[in-house]
Structure 1
Amino acid sequence: MSVANGRALLAMPGPTNVPDRVLQAMMRPAEELSSTTIVNLTETLLGDLKAIFRTTGETFIYAANGHGGWEAALTNVLSRGDKILVLASGRFAIGWGETARFMGAEVEVLAGSWRAAVDPAAVEERLRRDTGHEIKAVLTVQIDTASGVLNDIPAIRSAIDAAGHPALYMVDGVASIGCMPFEMDAWGVDVAMSASQKGLMTPPGLAFVAANGKALHAHQRATMRTPYWDWTARLNPLLYMKHCGTPPEHLMFALRAALDMIFAEGLEAVWLRHALLASATHAAMSKWAEGQVLSYNVVEPLQRAPSVTTILVDGDPAAITDYAQQVCGVTLGIAIGDLSGKAFRIAHMGHVNAPMVLGSLSAVEMALQAKGIPHGSGGVAAAIAYLGTHAREVAA
């Protein structure tokens, strides 16, 4: 007998749960594309995205998913034949590099692990050997959504600087922006990109790119540029040019509501909420791991992402994910890439609170019990205990 009826819960790493306020913001008629409302909406969103990325550089909004954001970032700063260095730590930096290769770049992958963060020392060593500065850009992700690895973005910047290398530093923040600290200017990131459907609590369909002065200078000589993604066109004061045509109005109204919610909570408070809920998830997982069937994909605790936890299963993870969805109404993330059929993922990102995460963890623990999968007992209790100790009442 299923107990899944009721409001379904997404505990997968994108798309994530969309707040009612964000959904309601889209329930309005379309407007003339150059109306005062749409012009003001565009300007406020571009300005507020600077606050989200923590940059004084330029920001751009695209009707696209994260893969479109990858292409937008690459085409504006690279030329065909340019060499780039991709820092592997799972699936998504590799995917970004594959996009660059398809577009005409020469791609070198710095080998890494699906279970550990990028090694800054290895980055420095490779760049020191590039005495002719053939490498034009270094690409990495802050969080790899597939592996659950968290990379140290400022440490990689320090490695690039220590090598004295002029390459552009480009960071994918799809699974991190709105979930954890990201300081584009302070960390020396030249190009950053993200998308709407994870920490920014908006339906899929918007991609964002931020560029600093160094990136804008590189843009002037880039030959990969194409009309839709082009920054020069989108910096035109005419609204039609800023969107290369009709704006994605209703997704922009949704984003406006989502950003208003983030700013009302406070960006730092959002980051802390994610950290607390991630640690509660880790407390549960550490108990379950005592049964020696479940284990962390990411070995080092400090390298585990605050937005998604990837869990290895000695057996069939579908027994857990299918049960959670069919019996409990909770959709967990299936594993992808090298971990396909070997793991599942629990997302704790975006529009989530303690009951939602505890509910997801309870669905997992129910599945473990119902399917007779060996596990340490008391995982959910450990998560509750963690939050009971570390979450605090907000002063009136």
Structure 2
Amino acid sequence: MLREVAQKRALPLLQQWTRTFSASALPEQVAQFGDAPSTSPQPAPFSFTPPGRNHLFVPGPVNIHERVLRAMHVPGQNHRDPWFAQFFKDCLEETKMIYGTTEATPFIFPGTGTGGWEAALCNTLSPGDTVVCFRYGLFSHLWIDMMQRLGLDVMVVDRPWGEGADEAALEEILKKDTGKKIKAVCVVHNETTTGVTSDIAGCRKAMDAANHPALLLVDGVSSIGALEFKMDDWRVDVAVTGSQKALSLPTGLAFVATSKKALDHMKTAKLKRVYYDFADMLRTNPSGNVPYTPTLSLLYGMRESLKMLREEGGMEAVAARHHRLAEGVRKAVEGWGLQLLCKNPRWRSDSLTVVETPEGIDSNKIVKSAYAKYDLSLGIGLAQINGKVFRIGHLGNMNELMLVGALGGVEMAMIDAGMSIRPGSGVGKAVEYWQKTGAVIKTRESLMQ
């Protein structure tokens, strides 16, 4: 009942997203300065950098800390010089923290999370293999599209947008697969289209209850490094993330971690792979080498970012911060009298918040006004929910005061769009929550004694 021999690719869904946040949609003049009207030609919308700084609150790319920027500011270096080997071995070892693993084999590819998707599939599966994948947003849809284009037979389990993976349905599907034809279960952990975090531990329990040997492949692009992720405990076989999300780096690194079981499957996997071949990494990485030129400046930034996560207290403390920030944003949404797209608290993401706008209010107007008037970057609604929601990202290098400013900008933009919002109604709720729950910065506790 849940099987779909998927023949349509991503284009039809993408075509539903017809209204984009483009220069043509912006006001003719983003801002006017000075007391007297200017008779000189006005600059194009994107040719002027306004005072202050851009407020980046999309769910990736995210804000990059100054320490990370400084760490990346290095001259050109030769990765074939003797120093690089130990440096790169340390890079690989240090990434294990964000996955919650001591057992997995990590890889770092020059690329993006999408490249990590492909690496996960091509190194473990063969043409015609059957895989199960939940679809509950644009990014899970695009991963399914990739699977189909690679020649996999995808059992698509569609879920309402705003809900997460259905563990009971997964268990039912796997129990019916008495011939063990299903080779992998693929789950997007944190769907940034909808602000939904699925229960990976619950998916593993469903697989165990069905006594099924399928691989568990997880897209953790916007969760790993921000939310709780326990690769060993959940027995995830391949986990994927990208540098531009919770690690607060520029785009350019694809992180993949693999179980021994996944590497065993690699030996018989027949999908074509070249650039993302694990075998090349396994041949070179143990000695601290790489099969091709690494993105060295990003590796410096990555090590600094991981160092900062350790200084914060490790992933438990990092996940707690993200939850506290997210709860404050959710309190703000309540204060505005609005609804989240994700109605069930068990699935609400701590990486971003997706807010529904009332009937008759185009959410794109809010996003455009936020950028054009207040230099605040928010996420638009994607595909079938375009114009119906806006997205506030709060992952990575983020704290309460940054979000106070962002929420204030959101309030002004909503008022600009014609919404009946009382100024301070949401900001006040967030501030009240954070004031009660916030902790003194770890290294500054002595100042409060």
TM-score tier after normalising by the smaller chain length? over 0.9
Shift of 1:342: 1.7
Task: Give CA-to-partner distance per residue, 1:132-172, whole Å, 9 cap, x none.
Answer: 11110000011101111110110111011111111100111
Name the residue aligned to 2:343: 299
> Are 1:24 and 2:73 counterparts?
no
> Secondary structure at the residue paired with 2:116?
helix
Aligned partner (choices 396, 399, 405) of residue 353 of structure 1 = 399
Name the residue aligned to 1:108: 155
> Secondary structure at the residue paired with 2:154?
strand
Task: Give CA-to-partner distance per residue, 1:285-339, whole Å, 9 cap, x none.
Answer: 0111x2xxx4211011221100011112232112211121122111001111221
TM-score w.r.t. length of structure 2: 0.84
Paired residue total: 392
Name the residue aligned to 1:198: 245
The code of the aligned residue for 1:164 comes to N
**CA distance in 1: counterparts of 2:245 and 2:383, whole angstroms:** 20
Shift of 1:2: 7.4
Name the residue aligned to 1:253: 300
Shift of 1:127: 1.0
Deviates more, 1:136-145 or 1:311-320: 311-320
Shift of 1:251: 1.3
Name the residue aligned to 1:243: 290
Preserved contact between residue 120 and residue 256 of structure 2 (Cα < 8 Å): yes
**CA distance in 1: counterparts of 2:340 and 2:185, whole angstroms:** 28
> Secondary structure at the residue paired with 1:200?
coil
Aligned partner (choices 309, 312, 318) of residue 353 of structure 2 = 309
> Are 1:70 and 2:114 counterparts?
no
Where do residues 369-380 of structure 1 align in structure 2 (5 Å cutoff)?
369-375=415-421, 378-380=425-427
Shift of 1:350: 0.5
Aligned partner (choices 202, 212, 215) of residue 168 of structure 1 = 215
**CA distance in 2: counterparts of 1:38 and 1:47, whole angstroms:** 14
Task: Give CA-to-partner distance per residue, 1:327-375, whole Å, 9 cap, x none.
Answer: 2111001111221222110000001111111111110111223333024
Preserved contact between residue 143 and residue 175 of structure 1 (Cα < 8 Å): yes
The code of the aligned residue for 2:354 comes to T
Aligned partner (choices 57, 61, 64) of residue 11 of structure 1 = 57
**CA distance in 2: counterparts of 1:53 and 1:91, whole angstroms:** 24
Name the residue aligned to 1:268: 316
Where do residues 111-190 of structure 1 align in structure 2 (5 Å cutoff)?
111-190=158-237
Q: Which runs of 5+ in 1 are unaligned?
A: none
Deviates more, 1:7-16 or 1:261-270: 261-270
Question: CA 1:238–1:136 in structure 2 vs 1: closer, same or farther (change >3 Å)?
Answer: closer
Aligned partner (choices 286, 290, 294) of residue 334 of structure 2 = 286
> Secondary structure at the residue paired with 1:235?
helix
Question: CA 1:128–1:106 in structure 2 vs 1: closer, same or farther (change >3 Å)?
Answer: same
**CA distance in 2: counterparts of 1:302 and 1:62, whole angstroms:** 33
Preserved contact between residue 93 and residue 139 of structure 1 (Cα < 8 Å): no
| Superposed CA RMSD | 1.8
Shift of 1:37: 3.3
Name the residue aligned to 1:57: 104
**CA distance in 2: counterparts of 1:242 and 1:114, whole angstroms:** 43
Q: Which has the larger radius of gyration?
A: 2
Preserved contact between residue 69 and residue 194 of structure 1 (Cα < 8 Å): yes
Deviates more, 1:251-260 or 1:185-194: 251-260
Query: Percent sequence identity over matched residues?
Result: 38
Preserved contact between residue 34 and residue 239 of structure 1 (Cα < 8 Å): no
Name the residue aligned to 2:127: 80
Deviates more, 1:368-377 or 1:221-230: 368-377
Deviates more, 1:196-205 or 1:309-318: 309-318
Name the residue aligned to 1:333: 379
Preserved contact between residue 54 and residue 375 of structure 2 (Cα < 8 Å): yes
Shift of 1:239: 8.0
Preserved contact between residue 366 and residue 416 of structure 2 (Cα < 8 Å): no
Preserved contact between residue 284 and residue 290 of structure 2 (Cα < 8 Å): no
**CA distance in 1: counterparts of 2:287 and 2:90, whole angstroms:** 16
**CA distance in 1: counterparts of 2:300 and 2:279, whole angstroms:** 25
Preserved contact between residue 325 and residue 394 of structure 2 (Cα < 8 Å): yes
> Secondary structure at the residue paired with 2:369?
helix
Task: Give CA-to-partner distance per residue, 1:191-238, whole Å, 9 cap, x none.
Answer: 111000010111001001100111111111111142221112201246
Shift of 1:94: 2.1
Shift of 1:383: 0.1
